[in-house]
Amino acid sequence: VLPGFPTSAMFTFHDMIVPVLRRMAGLPPRSEAKVAAKVPLRIRSEFGRTEFVMVSLVEGEQGLVAYPTGKGSGAITSFAQADGFISIEALADNMPAGSETSVTLFTSHVRVPDLVVIGSNCTGLDLVVGILFRAGLTVRSIAVGSLGGLAAAKRGECDIAPIHLFDSKTQSYNAPFLSEGLELVQGWRRMQGIVYRPGDLRFRATDPEEAVRAALADPNCMMVNRNQGSGTRILIDQLLGAARPDGYWNQPRSHNAVAAAVAQNRADWGVTIAPVARSAGLGFIALKEEHYDFALVSARKQRPAVQAFLTALASPEFNEAVERMGFSRPG
Dump pLDDT digits (tens) for 257-291: 999 999 999 999 999 999 999 999 999 999 999 99
CA nearest neighbour of 131 among 321, 327, 325, 326 = 321
**Residues with Cβ within 8 Å of residue 235, at least 6 apart in sequence:** 192, 271, 287, 288
Q: Where in the chain is the domain with CATH 2.40.340.10?
A: 6-105
pLDDT above 90 coverage of the chain, percent:
69
Chain centroid offset of residue 50 CA: 24
Q: Where in the chain is the domain with CATH 3.40.190.10?
A: 115-176+296-325, 191-290
Cα angle 156, 161, 165 (rounded to 5 degrees) comes to: 125
- Judge if pTM exceeds 0.85: no
* pLDDT tens-digit readout, 200-229: 999 987 899 999 999 999 999 999 999 988
Highest mean pLDDT among 31-45, 46-60, 104-118, 145-159: 145-159
* Range 6-105 classified under CATH 3.40.50.720: no
Q: Judging by DSSP bridges, how do beta strands 115-119 and 139-143 pair with one another? A: parallel
* pLDDT tens-digit readout, 113-123: 999 999 999 99
Tell me which CATH code domain 115-176+296-325 carries. 3.40.190.10
- How many residues belong to the chain? 331
pLDDT computed for residue 72 by the predictor: 52
Q: What are phi and psi of 91, to 5 degrees?
A: -90, 10
Domain 191-290 CATH (choose: 3.40.50.300, 3.40.190.10, 2.40.30.10, 3.40.630.30): 3.40.190.10
Q: Report the range of poorest mean pLDDT among 106-110, 155-159, 301-305.
A: 106-110
